[in-house]
Structure formats: structure tokens, C-alpha cells
Amino acid sequence: MRSRIRTVVATAIAALTVFATAACAAIPTDGAVRSGQSIEDESLSGVDFRPDRPVPGADQTAILRGFVAAGTGAQDDYGIAREFLAEGFAQEWNPRRGVTVLQGSTTVDRVADRELTYTLTASATVDADGEYTQAVRPTTSTLTFQFVREDGEWRIAYAPDGIILTPVVFESVFEQRALYFFDPTYRYLVPDERWFLARSSTSTRIASALLAGPSDWLEGAVVSAFPEGTQLSLNAVTVENGTALVDLSSDALRASTDDRRRMREQLTRSLASVASVSSVSITIEGATFTDPEQGGTSAQLNPDVDPRPLVARGDQVGLATTNGKVAALEDDLGETVASLDPTAFSLSASGTVAAVGNDSGVVVARGPDALRIDASDGLVAPSIDDLGFVWVGRAGDTRRVTAYGLGGDPHQVATTLPRGTLVSFQVSRDSTRALALIQTSDGPALYVMAVLRGSDRTPSTLGPPVRVQAASGRAVSAAWVNDSDVVSVGQTDSGPEVVRSTVGGRSATLPKPDGTATTVVGGSGGSILLRMSDRSVLQSTGGRWDTTGVSADVLGTQR
């Protein structure tokens, strides 16, 4: 699905280069730059940088710093920045290769008469496709700049491609946007978070990136309704009276009736975050787009759960209320789960099936019936997906998990996770991604992977793991909060550390609650529920922890 137009996002990233005065370099990133449609650079709303040109007689250090400062001006394809470059190199330098978010101080050192190095520490990177990767730990890089004399003036004969932003500037000029794709059953919309410059052409950049397809790590787990090769015909999305006018290439004519409706749904959801857009109008090379807008059923976005905590308490299993009562589950399911002495359990979205972990293994409970599917030692808490599979991981084996059908039929699913002790494993509510928390020799590590399935929806493998920020200390638990955020808990000497991370975005460390944490789960509306060792259940919806008034022997996971 990744077509030539992926570079429009590269253009978006490179359209503004803002550096701190001390940030005197550019960062190279791996991978070739794709050719394709371009988007005209225009100034940011309310921001228009006019950098200085080279000063006659400046030494190498001044030229280097001037080149960096000139990166703030994207006008004329970084015309002023290129004035600091040697004539033969000026058009070779590519600022569109990626963005590095700077952390801490930098140093410039001389290594030869015509060569300087620049050492920086990166906290995050954004690649040419707008994909954000947060550094798990600060990463130091040393970059080389070479110089030459031209007409008696020093000019840069070599500079690494790419740009650097300080965190403050990055947060000011970049905005996180979600592109939406479908799960293979078309029941759910799945977000693919990207970062775009905050400018008037954002809608064009979002549409172009959507047409180019999902991030590499998501490929195979999600699908797009747009026929392969579909591009923006007019090279831009215009907005008139709140309506985004999207003109597509003739490739879109190959779409089926259902896919035409889904194409509109993808565009509408992906452009919904643009304040100026309230609706979408599609044409194909200027012609009317026949779209069964009123037909079909919309895919579910960000599936939510019951706001009441799911608990096991004594011989009661169900949804807890603050008055101390527990609402029973349907069809005697709660009584069945309670009889199994659960140490962990996960309830299906329908509320009719539970995957139960106890001291004897993992059991599938349906109404009054129970079927033990795994009696192995060292199993982590089971996870149930929306396609009828119970996922079971083993603490001592990070390279495979088992997906059991509800009838107990096992399917071995290979992973490429690093070695360590698997602490928790959970599938997202849309069943397209999995979250694994591992205790390694270097501390907790948290990974998200695409769930790849066969034509019959049976899991076959897990895609390349994408690492996101994990809590420090001793790994305790991790969970999906919503369709884009995950949470991890580590126990430290000073209490539980809780880190909420956006897949493809930034992370935030929440305030530490008092005591010892045992389990974390995602609650309703993007909230986080945390069970403590004293059996109390806390809730966080923002920056603080509130007591729910609920106590639990076991805090269950809702699908």
C-alpha cells in the first residue's frame, strides 16, 4: 500500500526547520526518499521566520551556526540555508529525510582543518513519513560537517540530511494526527498516529498520507478501502465552508460499492481532527463520485467498556459499584469464574465468555461451562480477542504465544520479541495489535506488535515489535487504555511508577500513588484503573489518582 506519494509527508516535515541556536546539525535517517507528489510549502499560521544570510568573512563555526539558524526558513526550498552550502553540494542536501527532537546540550568539536563534528542527544525522531519514535533512553549521535573555500569564503561541502528541533519548538509547530484504517473484518477503525506541521495544508497532508497506506509495522493487520495507486488528482485538498474537497485519481474507480462507502469513512475520520473540516466531498478527476453514503454500517471507533470496574471479590465476580455491590455477569458466568479461584481474567466484549487464569493454568468459561485449555506452569494473565481466541503467554518464553480457539484448539504464534521475562500480554480491543511487557536485564521493556492472521482469521504471527516508553523499576503490569494509548506499571523503591504512552506519540509519567500496585487495566473513556496490594482500586482520568470506593481480590480486563 505504500505508494510513491509517501514523500508528501516528508515535505510536510521539512517545510519548517526550527533549530535552537546551539542545535548545529542535521540528522540522517535510514531508507531511501520516495518520489511522488509535492505540496507547496507555505508559512505557518502566525509564524514566519526570516533567517540571516552568510556574513562575509565568517569562519567555519559561524558558517555552521548560520546554516543551522537558516534552517528556520523553508521559503524557496530552504534557499537561504543552501547559501551556506558549497555550490556543488547545495542541491544534494536533503532536509526532508527526518526530524530529530533534541534533548540536553550539544557540543561542536574540530577534528581537522576543514571538518567539524557536532554531538547531540536525541529524545525522539520523526521519519520522512511522519512516524514518531520516542527514544527509550537518550541516544547520542556525532555528526560530521566538511568545509571548502569558494571565492574566499567558507562554505559547507558536506552536511547530513535531515533537521533538528528543540522539544519546545517541536511541540509548538507539530501536531499529532490519526490516520484511520480498517481491521480486516471492517468492524473497527484502527488509528495510525502521525505528526504533521500545523499549517493550512494539513488536510492535504493527511489525505496524501492516508492514500499512501499504513505504517510498515501495521501492514497486514489493517486494510484500506482505497484501491492501490489512488492519489490526490489535484495535488491538494481544499476546504470550503467546512467541507473538505478531495479529488482522487481514476484508480479510485476500481473500488466496489462497499469500498466507496468505506473510502469516505476513512477520509471523514482521518480529517475530523482538522478544526476547519466538518464534512468531506469526494470527486474523481473532477467527476461526481457515486457514493452509497447512507448505506452500510459504520465501523466502530475506539471501542469503550463499562465504566464499572470488573472485579472478583470472594464468591462474587462482576461489575462493581461504589455501594459495595457487584452486578452479576450474564448466564451464571460470574459464578463459574468465581468457582475457578481466578488470579486474572479477561471478559469478552459480548460479556458471555471469559478467559480465566488461575494456579492450574488457563480456563475458558462460557455460562456454567468451563474448559481448561492450558495447564502449563508460568503462564501470564490470559487475553481474549474479539474473534474468538484466547491468548496465552509464558513468562519464560518471549518468542511465542499460543492463541487458543474457544474449543481449546491451539495455534502457535511466533514473535520476534527480545529475550527476557514476559510479564503481561494483551490484545487490543479491535484485535489488530498486541501489547507485551517484558522484564529485561536493563529493566522493563514495552512493545506493540501487529496481529497477523490467515484468511480464516486464525492468528499466524506477530509483526515486528515497536518499542514504546515503559515504566521503570520492576515490571508489574501493562494494558491497552484505548485504541491508541497503552499504560505500564513498574514498582520502584518510592512507589509505583505509571507511564501512559501513545503508540506513535509521546509518553507521560503519572503521579505516583501510595503503596504497591498489582494490576493495571484500561477503564471507560480512556481512564486507567489500578489495583493496589491492599485490594483498593484507584482511577486516573487525568493527572491524579482518585479512590473508586471499590475493593477487589482480582481486577479483571474488559474487552
What SS3 state is found at 338?
helix
Q: With contact defined as beta carbons under 8 Å apart, do 471 and 438 qualify?
A: no
Question: Is the predicted pLDDT of residue 301 greater than 70, yes or no?
Answer: yes
DSSP symbol at 382? P
Question: Is the predicted pLDDT of residue 61 greater than 60, yes or no?
Answer: yes
Assign 49 a pLDDT band (cuts: 50, 70, 90).
Answer: low
Of the ranges 98-107, 338-347, 378-387, which one carries the lowest mean pLDDT score?
A: 98-107
Cell numbers found for residue 134 = 520516542
| Gap between the Cα atoms of 42 and 44, Å rounded | 7
Range 70-78 average pLDDT: 75
Q: What is the pLDDT of residue 278?
A: 93
| Gap between the Cα atoms of 14 and 29, Å rounded | 13
pLDDT 10s digits, 202-218: 899 999 999 999 999 99
Q: With contact defined as beta carbons under 8 Å apart, do 134 and 99 qualify?
A: no
Pairing of strands 344-347, 557-558: parallel
Question: Is the predicted pLDDT of residue 430 greater than 90, yes or no?
Answer: yes
What SS3 state is found at 530?
strand
Q: What is the pLDDT of residue 202?
A: 87
Average pLDDT value for the chain: 88
Q: What is the pLDDT of residue 472?
A: 96
Higher pLDDT, 127 or 155: 155
pLDDT 10s digits, 160-192: 998 878 888 788 778 999 999 999 999 999 999
What angle is formed at CA 402 by the lines to CA 390 and CA 191, rounded to 5 degrees? Answer: 65
Higher pLDDT, 211 or 276: 211
| Gap between the Cα atoms of 211 and 180, Å rounded | 11
Q: With contact defined as beta carbons under 8 Å apart, do 329 and 341 qualify?
A: no
Q: What is the pLDDT of residue 75?
A: 76
Has this prediction a pTM greater than 0.85?
Answer: yes
Pick left, alpha or beta for residue 162 (phi over 0 → left; psi -120 to 50 → alpha; otherwise beta): left
Cell numbers found for residue 558 = 474488559
Assign 235 a pLDDT band (cuts: 50, 70, 90).
Answer: confident
| Gap between the Cα atoms of 520 and 378, Å rounded | 20
Q: What is the pLDDT of residue 136?
A: 80
Assign 459 a pLDDT band (cuts: 50, 70, 90).
Answer: very high
Of the ranges 45-59, 314-328, 533-547, which one carries the lowest mean pLDDT score?
A: 45-59
Assign 16 a pLDDT band (cuts: 50, 70, 90).
Answer: very low
DSSP symbol at 505? S
